[in-house]
Amino acid sequence: MKRPNKLNDLDPKSWLKFQKSWFIHNPPPRRKGVLVHPAKFPETMAQEFIEFFTKNEEIVLDPMAGTGSTLVAALRAGRNSYGIELNPKYAEIAEQIVKEERQSLGEKVERLTSKVIIGDATNATNNQLPKIDYVLTSPPYWDMLRARGAKTQKKRRTSAELDVFYSDDPNDVGNLDDYEEFLERLVGIYVGLQSLLREKAYLTIIVKNVKKGGKIYPLAWDIGRELGKTYTLKDEKIWMQDNQRLAPYGMNSAWVSNTFHHYCLQFRNE
């Protein structure tokens, strides 16, 4: 007797393929409208996660929506979505991109909700959201966007049109320079979502460990440990990028890796 699929609408082959613990995803070039944002994950990858962890027309939340990658991916997957974004500029960009995506997809998404909310994710429960079936998000990687030596930021500093960091808002956890305070506040945001989530809803957090001052801070592992006290940490998938140029960090003197992977942590509200 065939068991009913309670989690998603995938066929067995697609289900099995997604269960692989690592994957390579090199996203297409970013559109001009979202290039201003200093760090985002690709809609193409987000759609794969949404289609695994939800069924058609279920509800997806991104509490740190940025320029709307999760909402665009949810539309393409046929899901309802909400995004909370602290920076009004990014929220405005997200609204425009979502509007264009809805126009592109036409009638098949008319029944779907895709709403961008300007606000602080710390206060997510104040937004009269419906029960959420899935959370997909990526937090600031501590204050690394403010590290002036960051190679990825050097080109952005030469352009007045491109942001180097998320915002100057004191409520933006990406502006905290104390790691333990950052970790505590970040985990607190995700803990605060629990009352919004249906039972057994999954949360995927895309994050990486960070290097600062010659030391590695295990951000992904610390989130797993601390948030695992509220939700069940079920597993991880490792997102690898193999199209990045290698740099000779520490050549002939010290070990410094070229870090081209992220952790996609899967939690469940049990």
- Which residues, listed in sequence order, are joined to residue 211 by a DSSP beta bridge? 216
Give the pLDDT band of residue 46 (cuts 50, 70, 90). Answer: very high
Q: Considering the chain, what is the average pLDDT of its residues?
A: 88
What is the CA 210 to chain-centroid distance, rounded? 16
Across the range 215-240, mean pLDDT stands at 96
Q: Which has the minimum average pLDDT: 25-34, 65-74, 167-176, 243-252? A: 25-34
Average of per-residue pLDDT across 5-23: 96
> Predicted confidence band at 38 (pLDDT cuts at 50, 70, 90)?
very low
Neighbouring CB atoms inside 10 A of 190's CB total: 22
Neighbouring-strand partners of residue 81: 60, 114
Residue 172 has pLDDT above 80, yes or no: no
CATH of domain 34-268: 3.40.50.150
CA distance linking residue 53 with residue 221, whole number of Å: 22
- Residue 69 pLDDT exceeds 70: yes
Task: Please say whether the dihedral angle defined by the alpha carbons of residues 187, 128, 66 and 238, taken in this order, is positive or negative.
Answer: positive
Beta partners for 144? Answer: none
By percentage, how much of the chain surpasses pLDDT 70? 85
- AA letter at 270: E
- Written as one string, the DSSP assignment of 116-172 is EEES-GGGGGGG----EEEEEE----TTGGG-TT-HHHHHHHT-TTS-SSS---TT-
